[in-house]
Amino acid sequence: MNQHEPMKSYQTQLGQYRIKNIKNTIAIASGKGGVGKSTVAVNLAVILAQTGLSVGLLDADIYGPSIPLMLNLKQKASIQAEKYKPLEKYNVQLMSIGFITEFSQALIWRGPMLAKSLIHMLDKTAWPCLDILIIDLPPGTGDIQLSLVQKIPLTAAIVVSTPQAVATIDADKAIQMFHKTNVHVLGLIENMATHTCTACGHEENIFGDKGLATLSKNYNLPLLGKLPLDKNIQTGGELGEPTAIWQNSELANLWHKIALKALEEMQTLPI
């Protein structure tokens, strides 16, 4: 897919305040960890870059930065003119605490310090001109997440969840957090929605068949897409090869459709 029209700058919850050089910021959030939020953030950034958009990805999960591992990046970010220079892979500009500290180093920071350091990292990164910056938020809806949502100008958010009730309950809380802070929610992504047996081809909703349908209906939010429980997604992440780059594959086509739907939803936002 190709992007021909210039990307517009849409309003954020903080009015006219924007991050320098960045037209739009999209937060990828989940109420609970382990639902595939970072996988969605990486693949969505990669597939959006394939449309011709200029895209960045900020790994804001300081306690558990996943982006270096999922993109197989071991080098550190260099500093030029007192700013971090983003790394680049698959035409995506990348920044993570994992590019500054040792990947295995434990960070024992309190919430306020963590939020402050994230905002500092965002501000002190020499981002080139970007149409979209994807921000992979830490999981949850506590003080850290609330501080980030209140201080970082966000164009919109996408909420990721698996179908289990224990996950969708927390996804509901994430939606409420965004609504209370006036951040528009573009839609929902259901991960691990189905599993297909590789031996017989039988497809099953092993985590339940209701999924995010109730949340979608209750909040009048579009379901941007459903992703299967597929070993290839995990394998690709460990190899540093997100499935969005697997041309003509079923998974790449799914990412393609999700990206298109997200871009369509963005066009309904106020400018």
The two structure tokens encoding residue 230: 């597929």
- Cα distances (Å, whole numbers) of residue 194 to 163, 166, 168, 210: 9, 17, 16, 11
pTM for this one? 0.92
Residue in the structure block whose two tokens are 């297909």: 196
Rounded distance between C-alpha atoms, residue 68 and residue 77, angstroms: 11
Rounded distance between C-alpha atoms, residue 251 and residue 264, angstroms: 20
Helix or strand or coil: residue 26? strand
Going residue by residue through the chain (271 aa), what tens digit of pLDDT does each one get?
A: 445 578 999 999 987 678 889 999 999 999 888 898 999 999 999 999 999 999 999 998 777 788 999 999 989 999 998 999 999 999 999 999 888 875 555 555 565 677 777 888 888 999 999 999 999 998 888 877 888 888 899 999 999 999 988 899 999 999 999 999 999 999 999 998 776 777 787 777 777 777 789 999 999 999 999 998 888 888 888 888 999 998 888 999 999 999 999 999 999 999 8
| DSSP annotation of 41 | H
Structural domains of the chain, ranges and CATH numbers in brackets: 22-268 (3.40.50.300)
Rounded distance between C-alpha atoms, residue 53 and residue 196, angstroms: 33
Rounded distance between C-alpha atoms, residue 89 and residue 50, angstroms: 12
Residue in the structure block whose two tokens are 């996950």: 167
Rounded distance between C-alpha atoms, residue 42 and residue 134, angstroms: 9
